[in-house]
Structure 1
Amino acid sequence: MSHPKPIYSVAQLLDELGSKGFAIDEGVSSFVVSRLPEKELPLYIRILAGFGATIASFFFVGFLWLVGLIDLSNEESLILVGILFVAGAIALQRATGHKYTVKRSFFIQSSFASMCIGKTLFVFGLQQLMNTGWGATVGLLVITCVTYPVYRMSIDRFLSSFGVLLSILINLSLDHDVRGVWELVFNGFFFAQFICAAVLVTHGKIKREYIPLSYAFILSLCMSVLLSASGIRFGFFAETALKHPFIINMVLTGGLIALFAWVAGGFNKLKSQPLALASIGTVILGSITAPGILLAIGLMVLGYAKHETILSITGVLLMPLFLSIYYYNLDVSLLQKSLVLVGSGIILLAGRVYLKRKGWDNGGASCAQNS
């Protein structure tokens, strides 16, 4: 029976090595410990803090406007005041300290609220100055690039990065200059996001600071697929509906198979019977289904492989949504849709029985035995 291996922090590991007689230079030890990322609060607390600070920032901007301290029609003033608020947010964060106290919590909330106010004013001012929706994208990109390395708050890094990607997506959908080539531009944008997300998620040497950026790309991919599907399903952005989603399907199909290989430990593992069947099933699924279903499956697999619960939950929540959209948009009668649903259920149940009989339902160990 195997026993779980002890888990050490970096500081504990250095102490343990020192107690075993390994010579570790004190300067090296201090450098390693100093490079450790700050311990952050749990995810749900960060989300609540983000919502609270964002709401507070909008109310504060409204207050400044009502009392006449800012002029929303003066672009230069908005940009300057925004920069001052951003600088103040960085200064507040540096003054928080490292102990979790009421003072530190207040400073963090105030810092994040100040950062939201500064970025909002800066982006709004630059958008007015450029007099185009792309001005907001440029403003978000500039302020995110400037603050990302120095403002070490993951929720801000995530929201700012996602804001850049979302603004690009919205501008692509509303810009009349790209109407004629919208599908080509959208596919290119989707592919670029997919490559960036794949590198950030699977590369072993990506720094921890870029984890919020990887989540931003993943969420933007979800929004991109939702936008393209909503034009068909709900009538929003009707002109942006993908007439030929096979390109997105090809990207996601190839990505899902590559994800199988990455999780298993290399493309040579795809020769094993379980993964070979999974790859064949993915190709078949990619040829007959909508992109959203493939994306949801990929998120569940990725979340399971990286032990990231948030990714698995996102995939689970998106799956019924994309399935509903897919079945609703089938150009068949209601009776035929019912038969398709029944047939899909039978196939899934048969697949489950087959996996159980083969012993492949016990996780990675059974797959490793078949490799």
Structure 2
Amino acid sequence: MSGSTVTLNHIVNNLRAENLLSIEDDALDYLENRPNPQPWYIRTMVGFGAWLASLLLIGFITSITLMVDGGYIFIGAALIVCAILVRQRSDRDFLVQCALASSLAGQALVAYGFADIAGHGKFEIILGFALVISSALFFLFPDRIHRVIMVLLATGSLTTLLYHWEANALIPLLGPALTGILILLHNRMPTLVAGRHSELLHPLMSGLMLSAFGTLLLSTVYLLPELEADFLFYPRPWISTILLGMLLIYLGRLIWPVVAGTEDTKSLLLLHGIMIVIITCAWYAPGLLLGLIVMLLGAHSSRVTFTGAGIGFFVLFLTAFFYGIEVSLLTKSITLVATGITLLLSRWIILKVILTDERQGAGYA
């Protein structure tokens, strides 16, 4: 028998040592009762079938209520309640996807029903209802994907309402506000994970991150020359740059000693100097700072999804920004080359200067 062979008795003893299997339980019964996850392609087909079946059924029921006053509200509310009850009692893929589709369709029906009864201001009523119902269903519907969608729906409704009320001057504050909440949740993660509502934390953080991405992408719209100049989608983007820059420096003070492995004052000052240079270069491109913030959060918490999302958004925002900016192709090329050189130089300073000084100091000690 080779040294790498693991027997069933060894596995059972480890399970009992971790209190996952009691002494009275039989190992074979435990293994037979373990869930057997289906392959991803089977789950994908099951989810597609569940969505198709749900939407067809919802369309059939909705057509019956076309001639009934308040029918949309009634059938929509019934779909939402049934979806919540089904999701709370089952984790099967088909029922999970059916409940998700039913909940989203029910929200759309109820919102349209309220707007239809009001007869005026339909757009504002739909957005207001979406903001309220999504906030409530974030807590009531026990599904991670649904909760992320509810956060996106709430922030999207709030952003659209600001445009509808012609308060677009507040848009540059929205992205930094969402990012600030994200950083606050990250700092309090150990306490929140140990709390009663720990299952809400990760969907909320993911929804806030995606919402901040969407909001900051609006800052590239004002660059497009095809649009009219009378209406600014994202006025004064430098406001977002200043606020996100402050968050970046604050976050750097907290996690640079952990990520870079250094507490030397000279090294930390150099790191903060690099951040100030980056903030200055991103004066009209605040989304670049958001990508760096998300990457730092992912590196600090060892969450690969956040790190990958930060890198992906950094590239996406940079592409959208340079596509929309109204300068010559030569200027764009020079700017891209300068950006790459700045990033490579910053990386070289961090690896060769800061970390090398730290290792030498540790070896000397």
How does the TM-score come out when normalised to structure 2? Answer: 0.73
Whichever residue aligns with residue 61 of structure 2, its letter is L
User: 1:359–1:231: structure 2 CA closer, same or farther, 3 Å change rule?
Assistant: closer
Distance (Å, rounded) in 1 between the aligned partners of 2:312 and 2:138: 30
Residue 283 of structure 1 aligns with which residue? 276
- 1:299 aligns to what? 294
Q: Establish whether residue 252 from structure 1 lines up as the match of residue 240 from structure 2.
A: no
TM-superposed deviation, 1:330: 5.5
What is the alpha-carbon distance in structure 2 between the residues aligned to residue 158 and residue 312 of structure 1? 18
* 1:277-302, Cα deviation, whole Å (9 max, x unpaired): 22222222222311011111111121
Q: 1:48 to 1:314 in 2, by over 3 A?
A: farther
Query: Is it true that 1:212 corresponds to 2:213 in the alignment?
Result: no
Q: Hey, what does 2:6 align to over in structure 1? A: none
Match of 1:109 in 2: 97
1:227 to 218, 221, 229: 218
Mapped to 2, the partners of 1:251 and 1:41 lie a distance apart of 46
| Contact preservation (8 Å) 1:126, 1:135 | yes
Cα distance in structure 2, aligned partners of 1:336 and 1:84: 58
What do residues 242-282 of structure 1 show as CA deviations (whole Å, max 9, x unaligned)? 3421210011111111222232469xx87633332222222
Partner of 2:195: none
Deviation at 1:43, TM superposition (A): 11
Give the structure 2 partner of residue 272 of structure 1.
265
For residue 149 of structure 1, give the secondary structure of its aligned residue in structure 2: helix
Check the 8 A contact 1:75/1:126 in 2, yes or no.
no
User: Which digits, 9 at most, give the CA deviation of each residue in 1:158-207, with x for residues without a partner?
Assistant: 1012111112212323x2x41xx422x21343343233222223223233
**Runs of 5+ in structure 2 lacking a partner?**
1-14, 24-36, 193-197
Asked if 1 retains the 8 angstrom alpha-carbon contact of 2:223 and 2:326, the reply is no
Take 1:257 and 1:312, find their aligned partners in 2: how far apart are those partners?
Answer: 18
Residue number in structure 2 paired with 1:63 = 60
Match of 1:182 in 2: 168
After superposition, residues 340-355 of structure 1 pair within 5 angstroms as 340-355=335-350
Q: TM-score when scaled to structure 1?
A: 0.72
1:261 aligns with 2:253: yes
Alignment partner of 2:157 out of 131, 142, 167 = 167
Distance in 2 (CA, whole Å) between partners of 1:278 and 1:193 is 25
**How far apart, CA to CA, are the structure 2 residues paired with 1:195 and 1:281?**
21
Residue 134 of structure 1 contacts residue 171 of structure 1 at CA under 8 Å; is this kept in 2? Answer: yes
Q: Distance in 1 between matches of 2:58 and 2:279?
A: 47
- Write the distance in 1 (CA, Å) between the matches of 2:85 and 2:150: 19
CA distance in 1, matches of 2:286, 2:44: 28
Matched, 1:118 2:106: yes
Match for residue 143 of structure 2 among 150, 153, 162: 153
List alignment gaps of at least 5 residues for structure 1: 1-10, 20-39, 99-103
The answer on whether the counterparts of 1:56 and 1:113 sit within 8 Å (CA) in structure 2 is no
**SS of match in other structure, 1:242:** coil
**How much has 1:234 moved relative to structure 2?**
6.8
Distance in 1, Cα, partners of 2:172 & 2:234: 9
Structural RMSD (CA): 3.9
Identity of aligned residues (%): 23
Provide the C-alpha distance between the structure 2 equivalents of 1:315 and 1:146, rounded to a whole number of angstroms: 29
- Residue type of the alignment partner of 1:212: P
CA distance in 1, matches of 2:263, 2:45: 42
Question: How far apart, CA to CA, are the structure 1 residues paired with 2:233 and 2:117?
Answer: 32
Aligned length: 321
C-alpha displacement at 1:55, in angstroms?
Answer: 6.0
CA distance in structure 1 between the aligned counterparts of 2:139 and 2:38, rounded to whole angstroms: 20
Would the aligned equivalents of 1:193 and 1:221 in 2 still touch at CA under 8 Å?
yes
Letter in 1 for 2:149: L
Partners of 2:257 and 2:263 within 8 A in 1: no
Provide the rounded CA distance (Å) in 2 between the counterparts of 1:123 and 1:367: 64
How far off is 1:114 after superposition?
2.2
Q: 1:232 to 1:305 in 2, by over 3 A?
A: same
TM-superposed CA distance for 1:210, in Å, is 2.9
Distance, in Å, in 1 between the alignment partners of 2:102 and 2:158 is: 25
The structure-2 alpha-carbon separation of the partners of 1:218 and 1:346, relative to structure 1 and needing over 3 Å to count, comes to closer
- For residues 42 and 274 of structure 1, the distance between their equivalents in structure 2, rounded to whole angstroms, comes to 49
Q: 1:301 & 1:61 partners in 2: Cα distance?
A: 44
2:322 aligned with 1:337: no
Compared CA separation, residues 323 and 283, structure 1 to 2 (3 A): same
CA–CA distance in 2 between the matches of 1:154 and 1:215? 10
The alignment status of 1:242 with 2:234, answered yes or no, reads: yes
